[in-house]
Structure 1
């Protein structure tokens, strides 16, 4: 009887997950794979492939990471609970114990970026997991799939090392809060990197029915947390990039789980956020008010363009043109930012840093989704210099390896 129950659960899991990634295009991936195999890829695609392969080769040498590796102990008493510290908060110099920490917008506290907490660890794990999966997909080298599977099981499945499916203690501030709704943002990588990689990895030798059952269970539990926990619900109401990323994260995970109604709900919620966030001239006041105004203007659009692409794929509406009275559209915001992909054009708002190429993958995604050459002039004139920069390297990869620029018929 128990074996029958396991079989039925497996069949349910197999039927209730997506066969198509949420944010990656299988057609583009297949085209790139063929181009690489036949030595017909464009030079930027070859550069991006070499960078991806180097990352995957390095990941082969890393120990399998877990949230239990951190030095700090979460208030729950379990290191299996994720814990991160808010990046822009610092000890109070006027206080003997430094508490409570004080905010300095745009100034990253190194204490939030070390091995004592999980923020950097999660980002590195998800980036390596995605790179390994893609390296296996493009090359067929089983070593990459085997390592990705081992990392997946260690982070999500093995009883002693698995992460509990919550973000209760994300982006905490010493002296103020053990965890905040802003910390839900940390989980965006589960949607943009992990579940799409899982969709590809399911066809790798070594993938087991038990893996599918366990990953379906973990993400079902995590999605329930995202939809019902008070911290997560506060994040859903956020009127800036945090709210946009909430929609995209929930929609991507729901798509993976085959939960179309939740994807639809997130598309509708994102439409209302676009109306609040984007003015008719394409500016984003909440992001332009930040000390890193270029980064956050791009960052908000990164979430919205990813969700717009998924909405179109799912037949759930057009977020590209969505607008309400006196509000702007997603395309208006991309139009406004496109000229600043040219680093020589001065960004007129206060700013701490700017990587102009980061906007290019979003422009390429829009052209591909709409099947229009709207942004081709900006895409094709981009200079992919400073490829030692992680942000430039990622933009190159996203544009030329994962989402090929639109080619007009």
Structure 2
């Protein structure tokens, strides 16, 4: 009876932020279990492959430097050998994205192995994960340099851009996976220390470089994803100053400047893919709340003076996630048919507020998307490691 009672008092759940119903947690784990075990079986067969496995002759960086090219930039028909031109929302399939794909694969491997360890306690999953962690962060022949100086470049325009920082949202579940696997005792102190040192260096670059500052000040999902990443990596490395900064950034910048009074995101609605971008930004904000909420400072309960809150954001988009046909704005120019999937904002929000309706919708949605662009825009694909 205790669990049923908790389910009907969502505000009491929200006020603590930490005493979610065991019934809800069990249902989440049961829903994910078959997907986790399937993906973990795949991950057990994967050998480490970092960004050093593929290089682009268009990159001005070295073999250890992450490189990608802007999605919406195309050759100019009037000057085929000149600078690229933009077609917002329309992805150029010929651009170099191999490093992004490698990072997403890495994130999937660690997320699956860590999730499988959590539900089975089988240490074989951790031993496999350590191979990949060492390849990306420690082994001198294959590691990635801790910066994104050459991400989302544009031929003839830029060798890299601040908006490329969004490509490393996929390192968050690597970090969460490490935390989830620590109880195994198989990630030794030297390995953990080396990985934390990598992220400390990356954090320094995110905060102090021109590209990092540009991304922090972006007034759309890019600014959100900067806060989300910095919050995740700062918590992992024990950087309390940066976690405090990110809490303030969420309260004083993201909510006031990105959300409208009705809970929508006007800057995302203006894009050529308003549905997907709105969902993505909401997922990122909900993930920030998941990362940074404490008993003393619960972001799930925070509201601006004029009533903007993460709860209002979920309430605005939820009807359109439950029934996409009710969407009253423009349709996305690409991937309209592929959204929504099992969005993290719903499962995180359901836990925070004890909202059974949101959880029911999340359970029914796709937990195993196959379209690369959808996978790319899911900041949290393995809820159990969070």
Q: Quickly name the TM-score band, shorter chain normalised.
A: 0.7 to 0.9
Match of 2:347 in 1: 364
State yes or no: 1:204 paired with 2:204: no
- Conservation of the 8 A alpha-carbon contact between 1:343 and 1:356: no
Offset at 1:47?
A: 5.0
- Conservation of the 8 A alpha-carbon contact between 1:323 and 1:329: yes
Give the TM-score normalised by the residue count of structure 1: 0.79
Residues 226 and 64 from structure 1, CA distance in 2 versus in 1: closer, same or farther, beyond 3 angstroms?
A: same
Match of 2:209 in 1: 229
Give the match's secondary structure for 2:157.
Answer: coil
Give the TM-score normalised by the residue count of structure 2: 0.84
Match of 1:160 in 2: 141
Give the match's secondary structure for 1:87.
Answer: coil
Match of 1:308 in 2: 289
State yes or no: 1:295 paired with 2:279: no
Match of 1:286 in 2: 267
Measured in 1, the distance between the counterparts of 2:21 and 2:146 equals 30
Measured in 1, the distance between the counterparts of 2:65 and 2:249 equals 29
- Conservation of the 8 A alpha-carbon contact between 1:85 and 1:171: yes
Measured in 2, the distance between the counterparts of 1:74 and 1:209 equals 38
* Structure 1 stretch displaced more, 118-127 or 150-159: 118-127
Measured in 2, the distance between the counterparts of 1:71 and 1:335 equals 44
Measured in 2, the distance between the counterparts of 1:30 and 1:382 equals 17
Measured in 1, the distance between the counterparts of 2:236 and 2:319 equals 35
Q: Output aligned runs, 1:214-253, within 5 Å.
A: 214-253=194-233
Residues 377 and 201 from structure 1, CA distance in 2 versus in 1: closer, same or farther, beyond 3 angstroms?
A: closer
Count of residue correspondences: 363
Q: Which runs of 5+ in 2 are unaligned?
A: 1-16
Q: Output aligned runs, 1:4-403, within 5 Å.
A: 42=27, 45-73=29-57, 75-97=59-81, 99-112=82-95, 114-115=97-98, 118-191=99-172, 193-271=173-251, 272-313=253-294, 315-318=296-299, 320-325=301-306, 328-343=308-323, 345-352=325-332, 353=336, 355=338, 357-358=340-341, 360-370=343-353, 372-373=354-355, 376-381=356-361, 384=364, 389-390=369-370, 402=384
- Conservation of the 8 A alpha-carbon contact between 1:67 and 1:82: yes
Q: Deviations over 1:64-121 (max 9, x none)?
A: 1111111314755521011111111112122131x31121222122223653xx1111
Aligned-pair Cα RMSD in Å: 3.2
Give the match's secondary structure for 2:137.
Answer: helix
Measured in 1, the distance between the counterparts of 2:328 and 2:37 equals 38
Give the match's secondary structure for 1:202.
Answer: helix
- Conservation of the 8 A alpha-carbon contact between 1:64 and 1:150: yes
Residues 230 and 127 from structure 1, CA distance in 2 versus in 1: closer, same or farther, beyond 3 angstroms?
A: same
Measured in 1, the distance between the counterparts of 2:20 and 2:109 equals 21
Match of 2:11 in 1: none
Offset at 1:310?
A: 2.7
Offset at 1:377?
A: 2.5
* Structure 1 stretch displaced more, 197-206 or 387-396: 387-396
Residues 174 and 214 from structure 1, CA distance in 2 versus in 1: closer, same or farther, beyond 3 angstroms?
A: same
Residues 126 and 185 from structure 1, CA distance in 2 versus in 1: closer, same or farther, beyond 3 angstroms?
A: same
Offset at 1:209?
A: 2.0
Q: Deviations over 1:24-72 (max 9, x none)?
A: x99989999xx9xxxxx65x74452221222121122222111111131
Match of 1:9 in 2: none
Offset at 1:241?
A: 0.5
